[in-house]
Amino acid sequence: MFIKRDFIAKATEMGCFGCFGFSFAKEPKKGVRCGRGFGNKELLLDEEPKEGDDEFYNGDVTDTGNGDDVEFQSPVRRSEEILKYRIQNALICREVPVKETHRLVRSEDENGNKMINEYVREYKIGSGSYGKVVLYRSSIDQKHYAIKAFHKSHLSKLRVAPSETAMTDVLREVLIMKILNHPNIVNLVEVIDDPTTDHFYMVLEYVEGKWVFEGAGPPGGLGEHTTRKYLRDIVSGLMYLHAHNVVHGDIKPDNLLVTASGSVKIGDFSVSQVFEDDNDELRRSPGTPVFTAPECCLGLTYHGKAADTWAVGVTLYCMILGKYPFLGDTLQDTNDKIVNNPLYLPDGINPLLKDLIEGLLCKDPEQRMILEAVSEHEWVIGEEGPIPQYPCWCKRNRSKEDFSNGSRTDLLT
């Protein structure tokens, strides 16, 4: 592996995580060429639970707001209102709604394994921003599920913005996942929230695939064939989200899971936002530092969809070259490089791929390539053809209703 120790140390210090199995220890609009020139955010760092705390994460969370108390179009309240409206009016993409369970029974099976209702604990498989993720097996259907576990009281005390707590983020994540249904998005199966306990669980489909990259192309990279396959799935899922006015806010390899069959699913909607229309203006800087768009580093308002697209570009760069395009010794140094440094691409790179990366990593969001253009890019199409359009359930239903009742205006654009 060509990645040097000091590089890994920098990524680890900043809270940057491994890309698609890379050995990073925890460590334009179409046809427009972008020029060279052109909010600061602390990453929410994980820490291991205290000894004896087998189920819950108790790490500290850094304030991710901008430090003032002035509300700016309060996207959290807007998101909650829009999501509740959509759910109440069946403007969702799910034929089968998320199961809601309000009774929690904690027990053990005959082998002494801990249980949550029907689910038998196997082992911890990861940590999210606010809680750890544990593999469970259902004693009913024998399938495996990834369960995110939280303490409600703990999250309610963690301030992540002037008017938001970590619990606000978790509840919004649940509401967002309740409306989504797409083959390239992780599915939420059940929410367990017993009002008499402090426990809160999200039961998610378990994505068991691992990413293998050694020998698959340039040192540290996945190679063009695998990268193209993964990128097509990422773009398909993100185009679906943006079509439903959902901004993910933290696109990065850690949140892109690969199934055993090799398809990619987008997960972790803990910093996502929903908008009523195409006005996706945000102030709270989301995401992970090395995947943050230049306009987010300036501490000003920015457009969430364009920031998501930049993060796709950083992810593509990681998949091809096995390293980050902009990485400094400190958070501020990284931000400075994201905003000011030119993009470096090695000699000999596929010209079509070079064109795509440059379009995605255009520092000017107005000139940055949009996802529709990415989906039609010659390198992305390859021998596979255009990315298939997913038949959206909620829009099919809406079209039927509009046809029956005449046109109507609602919050789903």
The crossing angle, in degrees rounded to 10, of helices 75-88 and 166-179 is: 30
Mean pLDDT of 166-194: 91
pLDDT of residue 90: 64
Q: Where are the alpha helices (DSSP H) in 244-362?
A: 294-297, 304-321, 331-340, 351-360
- pLDDT tens profile 325-362: 999 999 999 999 999 999 999 999 999 999 999 999 99
- Domains of the chain: which residue ranges? 12-43+210-381, 75-205
As a whole number of angstroms, the distance between CA 86 and CA 411 comes to 7
- Catalytically annotated residues: 250
Q: What is the mean pLDDT of the chain?
A: 77
List strand residue ranges (DSSP E) for 90-175, in order: 99-101, 106-108, 114-116, 119-127, 132-138, 144-151, 159-161, 164-165
pLDDT of residue 211: 56
148 is in an annotated binding site: yes
Q: Which CATH architecture has domain 75-205?
A: 2-Layer Sandwich (3.30)
pTM above threshold 0.75: yes
* 273-274 and 281-282 strand pairing: unpaired
CATH class for domain 12-43+210-381?
mainly alpha
- pLDDT tens profile 245-294: 899 999 998 889 999 888 999 998 888 888 877 778 787 666 788 999 99
